[in-house]
Amino acid sequence: MPNAHSAATRLASLFGLALVVAGGAACSGTSDAEESGGAAVAADSADYAFLGVNVVPMDEERVVPDQTVLVLGDRIVAIGDADEVSVPAGAERIDAQGKYLMPGLAEMHAHVPSGQAGGPDFTERVLLLYLANGITTIRGMLGAPVHLELRAQANRGDILSPRIYTSGPSVNGNSIPTADSARRAVRHQKLAGYDFLKIHPGLSREAFDALDEVADSAGIGFAGHVPADVGLERALEAGYLSIDHLDGYAEALVRDGMDTSEMPPSFFGANLVDYMDEAKLAPVAAATREAGVWNVPTQSLIEGISLPEDPQEMAARPEMAYMPPEVVANWVEAKQRFLDNENYSPDVARRFVEIRRKLIKALNDAGAGLLLGSDAPQVFQVPGWSMRAELVSLVAAGLTPYEALTTGTRNVAAYFDELSEWGTLEAGKVADLLLLDANPLEDVGNVGLLSGVMTRGRWVPRAELDEILEGLKAE
């Protein structure tokens, strides 16, 4: 069985790691037949033509049937009725009859190995697992200097990888214990070129306030955890780019007049479930919407760790074959320790999961932005598979399939202020596309039925995806 490095070398030879981008493509034509009014849609040239496909644009909840979609370089150049679009000579024709074409998905709480744990082969494995499962954009949530060059290589198309955004190294109570160290960290990470700051627990209020002030003046945002000394109200006031794991919300939902300050820390406030007031869900969600703060719930991670499922059974899931055995063994040990804790209660865990689902629904109903993220690769969160589990968790919380899918498509592009470039399937936008065997608006699990992935105009059909995945299986 080849290791990840030899598999990647073979795949590099198979695919070529350089992404050849033809000259910029202007849009001639419209995004669908309704807007074109039945007029012929034309493009002078194209590299690929998806024929007879059902388009899921993700601009609203709809499917546009029997379309031809043309791609030139890294752009969609035309979309229209199959009988009205002329396919240029030389375009590779992709028979997509009965299939569904939608924008690529994002993993907004990703971890990219730095090469220290597992080595560079593990980094390459993780990036390929994301892409082979339809993830065309990732936001790395624990940055390191090596990720800056990796981001440049991925975004140039030098390596087969999702588009990468990356935080800097962890900002926490140990790394920045004082206000002065917070100011230095912000300036250093901005100068280094990281996209944002990642906040972890333990940050003092004094250090956080200094960080917030300097980050505003430096023009760099921050995201992640809400330290206990900061709290949700201050986090919303500070304008987090995103709060991840719904951190800080459990404490904010505690009934008025209840003093929980002496309670020991718990897993994202799970031990507070008996003290929460569900009447606070709507006002907390409204405050989040008013602050313009996004949330990345990572609900599948919370459910996977909290609920009393046997870790040995979890380790037997098919996707665990793509993780090194020692990683899976560590996950089993971590989950078992959690279940064996003397304070663990399956009933409390189930009620904690349920109130988090209600919070997700309240945030969505209030118009507070949600983003798709699963914290992969963490405990039993295998890149790609965990994204699909997160979509299922969002639907279980009460979102429609369309609403769940927006968290990984148009919402992500809006979050990055790049909706004019990608996030929906429209002529003129970047060709990050998924070709599916079934309608994802009927069942979000259908995003796993991939016929192929296109990343910035680079087409990887099912047979090649299978070869990638086969080469990444661990012994």
334: domain CATH number is 3.20.20.140
Shared-domain flag, residues 326 and 275: yes
465 located within any domain: no
Kind and range of the H or E element at 79?
Answer: strand 75-81
Shared-domain flag, residues 161 and 304: yes
143 located within any domain: yes
| Overall number of domains in the chain | 2
pLDDT category, 5, cuts 50, 70, 90?
very low
Confidence check: pLDDT of 283 > 90? yes
pLDDT category, 129, cuts 50, 70, 90?
very high
Shared-domain flag, residues 153 and 53: no
Distance CA 232, CA 255 (A): 15
Confidence check: pLDDT of 77 > 90? yes
Structure tokens at 437: 């065997």
Rg (CA), the chain: 23
Distance CA 297, CA 244 (A): 6
Confidence check: pLDDT of 16 > 50? no
215 located within any domain: yes
330 located within any domain: yes
Question: The domain containing residue 70 runs over which residues?
Answer: 20-103+432-456
Among the residue ranges 115-119, 193-197, 328-332, the one predicted with the least confidence is 115-119
Among the residue ranges 39-43, 47-51, 308-312, the one predicted with the least confidence is 39-43
Confidence check: pLDDT of 313 > 80? yes
Among the residue ranges 18-32, 157-171, 460-474, the one predicted with the least confidence is 18-32
Shared-domain flag, residues 81 and 201: no
Residue 375: the pLDDT is 97
396 phi/psi in degrees, rounded to 5: -60, -25
Which residue did the predictor score with more confidence, 121 or 111? 111
Asked whether the whole model's pTM tops 0.75, one would answer: yes
Shared-domain flag, residues 446 and 374: no
Average pLDDT along the chain: 91
At 411 the three-state DSSP class reads helix
Shared-domain flag, residues 99 and 109: no
Confidence check: pLDDT of 8 > 90? no
pLDDT category, 116, cuts 50, 70, 90?
low
Query: Could you tell me where the DSSP H helices lie in 137-241?
Result: 145-156, 179-192, 205-218, 231-238
469 located within any domain: no
Confidence check: pLDDT of 328 > 60? yes
Residue 2: the pLDDT is 34
What is the sign, positive or negative, of the torsion defined by CA atoms of 453, 437, 424, 363?
A: negative
Please enumerate in sequence order all residues whose Cβ is within 8 A of that of 437, keeping only pairs 6 or more positions apart, or say none. Answer: 98, 99, 100, 446, 449, 450, 451
Confidence check: pLDDT of 9 > 80? no
Domain of residue 40, CATH code: 2.30.40.10
281 located within any domain: yes
For 75, half-sphere exposure in the C-beta direction (CA atoms, 13 angstrom radius) is: 17
